């Protein structure tokens, strides 16, 4: 494809291993074929990469031609969902929606990067959902520790980090200042778990729709983070994980990123 060099990684999960192998070099059409087979499609971005945002919109438009979809965006926090509903329903304009969601304060990346996506959603009456958990919740986790926090934005049972994921996060932690290791990991676990909980509930609420998830690549890389926790909450769900890393788009497809810990019951709201 024109925008990026694309690699397909077909995901093979054996026990707790995270091994995958290069499947084939791919065209955009092959990537879209996988998207058509998936219930949840993650488009893991580098937030300030304008080319990838254009790619996200291209995928959304192509899926919308053939399937009912809903869009989840990390750029908005869940407590402001009413404003997104009012925007898509043409009750308020874009400026009022951004003010009511406190977009400039809480996300800060230029709106021009994301506006084509939410404008397309409004134009075509596609439900738009806030994915991110409240900043106030993350502050509470930092202050009290995750085990001491109860929130409607978090599932009652949390899936802990896999060893591989924890090692990768601790490498990131080394670059951060002003936080201890436990607090850093608590925040990351709350963040991934809260967003996975949102995805899982919406997957049940919209059984006939595909969920397109606009989120940072770090939350979905290698199927870790959000995707494996969705399966932990729901059981096997066909998921496509597309993410940008060092100028290349990678994608993984699997029904189960966390088989050894997935719930067998997918008919109830996750808790």
CATH code of the domain containing 63: 3.40.50.11550
* Number of C-beta neighbours around residue 214 at 10 A: 24
Residue at token pair 């909980």? 197
Which pLDDT tens digit goes with each residue over 52-73? 999 999 999 999 999 999 999 9
**Whole-Å CA distances, 116 to 49, 61, 214:** 14, 11, 13
Q: What is the pLDDT of residue 77?
A: 98
Average pLDDT across the chain, whole number: 86
- Per-residue pLDDT band for 178 (boundaries 50, 70, 90) equals low
- Domain for residue 268, yes or no? no
Structural domain boundaries, residue 11: 5-261
Number of independent structural domains in the chain: 1
- Domain for residue 270, yes or no? no
How far apart CA 75 and CA 73 sit, in angstroms, is 5
- Domain for residue 82, yes or no? yes
- Domain for residue 269, yes or no? no
- Domain for residue 233, yes or no? yes
Q: What is the pLDDT of residue 254?
A: 80
- Domain for residue 72, yes or no? yes
Is residue 174 over pLDDT 50?
Answer: yes
**Whole-Å CA distances, 28 to 42, 111, 139, 182:** 15, 26, 40, 41
Higher per-residue pLDDT: 172 or 58: 58
Higher per-residue pLDDT: 112 or 18: 112
The per-type count for the chain, helices as H runs and strands as E runs, is 10, 8
**Whole-Å CA distances, 121 to 15, 67, 79, 88, 108:** 39, 14, 20, 7, 21
Q: What is the pLDDT of residue 28?
A: 85
Higher per-residue pLDDT: 235 or 176: 235
Which pLDDT tens digit goes with each residue over 219-267? 999 899 999 999 999 988 999 999 888 888 888 888 665 543 333 223 3
How far apart CA 266 and CA 65 sit, in angstroms, is 28
Q: Are 181 and 217 in contact (CB under 8 A)?
A: no
Secondary structure element (H or E) that encloses residue 241, with its range: strand 239-245
Q: Are 16 and 261 in contact (CB under 8 A)?
A: no
% helix, strand, coil for the chain, step of 5: 45, 20, 35
pTM: 0.87
Q: What is the pLDDT of residue 29?
A: 86
Closest CA to 143 of 173, 181, 85, 183: 183
Which pLDDT tens digit goes with each residue over 120-168? 999 999 999 999 999 999 999 999 999 999 999 999 999 999 998 999 9
Is residue 268 over pLDDT 50?
Answer: no
**Whole-Å CA distances, 192 to 77, 123, 223, 248:** 13, 30, 12, 23
- Domain for residue 267, yes or no? no
Residue 46 structure tokens: 């580098």
Q: What is the pLDDT of residue 78?
A: 98
Q: Is 69 helix (H, G, I), strand (E, B) or coil?
A: strand
How far apart CA 129 and CA 114 sit, in angstroms, is 14
Burial (CB < 10 A; 0-12, 13-18, 19+), residue 261, is middle
Is residue 179 over pLDDT 90?
Answer: no
How far apart CA 9 and CA 236 sit, in angstroms, is 19
């Amino acid at each position: 494809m024109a925008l990026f060099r694309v690699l397909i990684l077909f995901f093979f999960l054996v026990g707790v291993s995270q091994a995958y192998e290069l499947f084939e070099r791919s065209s955009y059409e092959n990537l879209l074929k996988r998207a058509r087979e998936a219930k949840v499609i993650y488009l893991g971005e580098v937030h300030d990469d304008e080319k990838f945002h254009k790619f996200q919109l291209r995928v959304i438009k192509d899926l919308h031609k053939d399937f009912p979809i809903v869009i989840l965006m990390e750029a908005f926090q869940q407590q402001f969902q009413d404003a997104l509903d009012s925007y898509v329903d043409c009750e308020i304009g874009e400026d009022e929606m951004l003010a009511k969601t406190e977009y400039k304060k809480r996300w800060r990346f230029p709106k021009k990067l994301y506006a084509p996506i939410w404008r397309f959603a409004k134009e075509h009456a596609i439900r738009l959902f806030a994915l991110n958990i409240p900043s106030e919740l993350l502050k509470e986790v930092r202050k009290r520790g995750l085990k001491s926090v109860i929130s409607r934005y978090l599932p009652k049972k949390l899936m802990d980090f896999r060893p591989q994921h924890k090692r990768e996060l601790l490498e990131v932690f080394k670059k951060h200042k002003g936080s201890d290791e436990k607090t850093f990991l608590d925040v990351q676990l709350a963040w991934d778990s809260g967003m996975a909980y949102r995805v899982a509930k919406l997957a049940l609420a919209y059984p006939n729709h595909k969920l397109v998830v606009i989120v940072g690549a770090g939350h979905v890389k290698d199927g870790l983070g959000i995707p494996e926790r969705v399966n932990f909450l729901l059981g096997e769900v066909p998921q496509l994980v597309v993410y940008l890393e060092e100028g290349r788009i990678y994608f993984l497809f699997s029904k189960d990123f966390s088989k050894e810990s997935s719930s067998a019951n997918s008919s109830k709201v996750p808790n």
